[in-house]
Structure 1
Amino acid sequence: FSIPICLMYLVAIMGNCTILFIIKTEPLLHEPMYYFLTMLAVSDMGLSLSSLPTMLRIFLFNAMGISPDACFAQEFFIHGFTLMESSVLLIMPLDRFIAIYNPLRYSSILTSNRLAKMGLILAIRGILLMLPFPFTLRRLKYCQKNLLSHSYCLHQDTMKLACSDNKTNVIYGFFAALCTMLDLALIVLSYVLILKTILSIASLAERLKALNTCVFHICAVLTFYVPIITLAAMHRFAKHKSPLVVILIADMFLLVPSLMNLIVYCKILGKLLNVCGRQELEQLGNKLSTSRHLLSFAMCLMPQKSLTKDWMMEVKSYVVQNL
């Protein structure tokens, strides 16, 4: 498993770095939807990097041990970035709802300052909610058998090793899990409202177009929450679970959302690809601020689109202005 796991980490980290670079360097992508995807990419990178040292030590060097302090720190960052990603997925439907319900005021409602405040609030929420975890774990006494179920440290896995009373950890862990599930419930409610708004649109073509803008986010939600719920259910209900199955699902919890979100991120580049076309993109790629290599990466992942003259004139005007 060492080579596939390392390749998955490499693709996840390099892919997220590529997307962040594209968003930063392309003025066409300085819009609310892409800022939300930037937050999602940052949380994905944080989640991957939090577990990377331990995973590399295990799969490359067969080093199974980890110090208690390092384990508690890793657990804090993994749970913190998990909650941050859950929060980003919660506020992303807001972007789609405003774009569908009130498109004329979209830019005036979701300003850069408001988005920056949202990002700061999400980061503070994740830090404050997960900060007690390392301290509650440190006060526990642990038995001689300190064998974790996963390739990295999780709160629910670490607290089971304690010989002393861990009731506080159980209660607070349940509260943190409840916050994550509350995010999921609010996401479902948000899409009920979005669906209600879409059904009120008269034109069938406009309904399908509005639904299409939500598909990628729904996929991101499913790839994030399904491994979490599966892993939590196995910890709670599976008494005779296979250790290999648990490890694989736990690794999927960290890597699959990041890899699947790379497909979601390709929607970011759809704006350039839709207005340029594949042939026009090759001709104009060296004139845009984004490098040709990044645009080639995008073309491999995005389908060919039909173009309109108005869109083509817009991108040519953009290129001329940026020469």
Structure 2
Amino acid sequence: MLLLNDTQPFVFILLGIPGLEEVQCWISIPFCCMYIVAFFGNIVILLIIRYEKSLHEPMYFFVSMLSMTDLVLSSSTLPKMLGIFWFNFREICFEACLTQMFIIHSFTAMESGFFLAMAFDRYVAICNPLRHSAILSNKTVLAIGLSVVFRAMVFFLPHPFIVKTLIFCDNNIIPHTYCEFMAVIKLTCGDSTISKAYSLTVASMIGAFDLLCTITSYALIFRTVFSLPTKQAGQKALSTCTSHITVILVFYSTATFTFLTHRFGHNIGPHIHITVANIYLLVPPMLNPIIYGVRTKKIRQKLVRVLCFTGV
């Protein structure tokens, strides 16, 4: 094994999905399709919101932030993953591995934060509509967006530095499709309890805080909706939230499964854990533009006009 110094490997070898090597070529087909939809779908969402002035509202600004996060998150993993599946390009240098690790964890935290920001926007829009524009001004939206990014950077920036301080055993093979923190930590010698505890604690605290606040926001929304004088008004109010609730359920269900398998799932096969971990990074970025594009009336109408104008 080539060494960068006495303690760190020069390259890691990504195995892909252990136990499913013979069918990885077939698995790559839906993964590639999901990435294509995620890549072009999020770009379309960004362009529509950028050039359609009627969409320059807090909710769509947060959708744009989410789309940019999804683009980076999916692009940081899928191209390398396809290289493993199709061309057996398994090597990844140490610095590139640390960079990928940081991007994956930090941008996942950003996605969770933007979901919370969107829930807060829906809460203000439904529960306090007269003050919506005053509470969520452009400056406030920008401040919220920067806060979400800053929080993710601060909490997950230590990850690469933690790994660089550790001593690696004579093994540079990562049984995963990407450089996931826990998978890399398992290659180190000595006691890594503190490193694992830090990562799991930070991830669980951010996820639990965002999810709890999101649930609280929707509890208040439902209370307001059910107190509206007419059923039609309540249905109209809830229709603006269905897209958001759908993507939140997909994101947190896969995220929770991934977290729990790290903590308690010692009897779960690695192929199941790694497959769900890939779904966790690929499905939400794919679904977000589809759900928001189809279920959000303003985006859908603009997309239809663009397609009709281009003759598609």
The answer to whether TM tops 0.5 is yes
For residues 217 and 28 of structure 2, the distance between their equivalents in structure 1, rounded to whole angstroms, comes to 40
Whether contact under 8 Å (1:18, 1:294) holds in the other structure is no
Secondary structure in 2 aligned to 1:161? coil
Instruction: Give the CA deviation at 1:147.
Output: 3.0
Note if 1:23 corresponds to 2:88. no
Whether contact under 8 Å (1:146, 1:161) holds in the other structure is yes
Whether contact under 8 Å (1:140, 1:165) holds in the other structure is no
Note if 1:115 corresponds to 2:141. yes
Residue of structure 2 in register with 1:188 after alignment: 215
| Counterpart code for 2:152 | G
Task: Select which of 72, 84, 87 maps to 1:58.
Answer: 84
Whether contact under 8 Å (2:73, 2:104) holds in the other structure is yes
Q: Deviations over 1:217-259 (max 9, x none)?
A: 1111111111111112222223233232222111101111111
Instruction: Give the CA deviation at 1:150.
Output: 2.0
- Runs ≥4 residues deviating over 6 A: none
Choose 1 or 2 for highest CA Rg.
Answer: 1
Residue of structure 2 in register with 1:270 after alignment: 297
Task: Select which of 254, 264, 267 maps to 1:237.
Answer: 264
Q: Deviations over 1:99-136 (max 9, x none)?
A: 11222222232111211111111111111111000000
Q: Deviations over 1:131-158 (max 9, x none)?
A: 0000001111112233323200111221
**Structure 2 unaligned residues grouped into runs of 5+:** 1-26
Note if 1:169 corresponds to 2:207. no
Distance 1:245 1:82, change over 3 A: same
Aligned length: 285
**Structure 1 unaligned residues grouped into runs of 5+:** 297-323
Note if 1:203 corresponds to 2:230. yes
Note if 1:80 corresponds to 2:106. yes
Distance 1:114 1:149, change over 3 A: same
Residue of structure 2 in register with 1:318 after alignment: none
Whether contact under 8 Å (2:243, 2:295) holds in the other structure is no
Residue of structure 1 in register with 2:168 after alignment: 142
For residues 236 and 76 of structure 2, the distance between their equivalents in structure 1, rounded to whole angstroms, comes to 38
Distance 1:268 1:205, change over 3 A: closer
Whether contact under 8 Å (1:12, 1:258) holds in the other structure is yes
For residues 235 and 49 of structure 2, the distance between their equivalents in structure 1, rounded to whole angstroms, comes to 27
Residue of structure 2 in register with 1:124 after alignment: 150
Distance 1:19 1:268, change over 3 A: farther
Distance 1:47 1:199, change over 3 A: same
Distance 1:137 1:294, change over 3 A: farther
Note if 1:223 corresponds to 2:268. no
Residue of structure 1 in register with 2:12 after alignment: none
Instruction: Give the CA deviation at 1:172.
Output: 1.3
Alignment of 1:250-269 (within 5 A): 250-266=277-293
For residues 300 and 200 of structure 2, the distance between their equivalents in structure 1, rounded to whole angstroms, comes to 45
Task: Select which of 5, 12, 24 maps to 2:38.
Answer: 12
For residues 293 and 144 of structure 1, the distance between their equivalents in structure 2, rounded to whole angstroms, comes to 60
Whether contact under 8 Å (1:136, 1:168) holds in the other structure is no
Whether contact under 8 Å (2:38, 2:287) holds in the other structure is no
| Counterpart code for 2:72 | G
For residues 253 and 295 of structure 1, the distance between their equivalents in structure 2, rounded to whole angstroms, comes to 35
For residues 310 and 282 of structure 2, the distance between their equivalents in structure 1, rounded to whole angstroms, comes to 22
Instruction: Give the CA deviation at 1:55.
Output: 1.0
| Counterpart code for 1:259 | M
CA RMSD of aligned residues (A): 2.2
Question: Normalization by structure 1: what TM-score?
Answer: 0.82
Q: Deviations over 1:247-304 (max 9, x none)?
A: 2111101111111112222157512656x9x9xx6xxx4xxxx5646896xxxxxxxx
| Counterpart code for 1:230 | F
Instruction: Give the CA deviation at 1:3.
Output: 2.5
For residues 126 and 243 of structure 1, the distance between their equivalents in structure 2, rounded to whole angstroms, comes to 27
Distance 1:232 1:210, change over 3 A: same
Instruction: Give the CA deviation at 1:216.
Output: 1.0
For residues 185 and 273 of structure 1, the distance between their equivalents in structure 2, rounded to whole angstroms, comes to 30
Distance 1:181 1:100, change over 3 A: same
